[in-house]
Structure 1
């Protein structure tokens, strides 16, 4: 159980680092992307979320094999 918690915290840490890179390096472009995301349809955002989850699961599967 402790190993699982450690892995989850490592994953969350890496996610936060990856999410923070663009706003840190290119804040204006990040802001423009957020404005576009807000004006996107629910369908487009769901599709993006589904593709992102699928790619994440695929990468996780490939790295665990």
Structure 2
């Protein structure tokens, strides 16, 4: 796998870990609130994040690589 993808995954893990490490109470409340959302809304939210990530990756690979 491309080194850039592994570095991006490492950055995601670092950013995801900052929430519970720095703001555990806020993070816990956010997770509990998300657990109450309907599945359909979570599917749309997750799909939007995937699309946004793919667009950012495409933009950086096409325009940022030169």
Length-normalised TM-score, structure 1:
0.84
Determine whether 1:45 maps to 2:42: yes
Structure 1 runs of 4+ aligned residues shifted over 2 Å read: 6-9
Determine whether 1:11 maps to 2:8: yes
Determine whether 1:36 maps to 2:33: yes
> Tell me, which stretches of 5 or more residues in structure 2 are unaligned?
none
Who is 2:21 aligned against? 24
d(CA) in 2 for partners of 1:12, 1:62: 17
Supply the RMSD in Å over aligned alpha carbons.
1.2
Higher helix share: 1
Who is 1:63 aligned against? 60
